Structure 1
C-alpha cells in the first residue's frame, strides 16, 4: 500500500514552526507544530496517526540533510 504526504510551512516564530500537511496539495487541511529546540512535532488536532508521523519524520529528515527547515516537501512510500 502506497502512502503520500505533502507538507508546507505556513508560519514560524523563534520557538515553533507550523506546517500544513495532507495527502493532496490542495487538501492540506491538517497542521503540525514543530518545536525548533527539541525537534518534536505535535498535531494541532491532537490526532497522532501515520500521516502525521510520516510528515514530521520527513520534515526532520530534510532538516538533517540541509541544516534548515524546509519550506515544502513530500514523502512517498
Structure 2
C-alpha cells in the first residue's frame, strides 16, 4: 500500500523552522518544529506518529541534498 505525506513551511526563526504536515489537505495538519542546528524535529502537538516520522525524514533528506530547508514537499513510499 502506498503512503503519501505532504508538508509545508509555515514559520522560520534563526534556530528553528515550523512545518505543517499530513496525509492530505482535507484533514487537520500535524505540526513539527525542526531545530536547524541539530536537525532534530519534535511534534508541536506532542504526538509522534507515522506521518510525523515520514515528514521529518523527508525534510532532512531534502536539506541534505540542497543544503537549504525546503519550503514544501512530499514523501512517497
Shared fold per TM-score greater than 0.5:
yes
Task: Give me the TM-score of the superposition, normalised by structure 1.
Answer: 0.94
Question: Residue 65 of structure 2 corresponds to which residue in structure 1?
Answer: 65
- Which whole-Å deviations, capped at 9, do the CAs of 1:10-51 have from their partners, x for residues lacking one? 000001100000011354521000000000000111111111
Who is 1:18 aligned against? Answer: 18
Q: Does 1:43 align with 2:43?
A: yes
Structure 1 73/16 Cα, relative in aligned 2: closer, same or farther at 3 Å?
same
Moved >4 Å (runs of 4+): none
| Corresponding residue SS for 1:24 | coil
Where does the alignment leave 5 or more consecutive residues of structure 1 unmatched? none
TM-score, normalization by structure 2: 0.94
Unaligned runs of 5+ in 2: none
Question: Superposition pairs for residues 4-15 of structure 1, below 5 Å?
Answer: 4-15=4-15
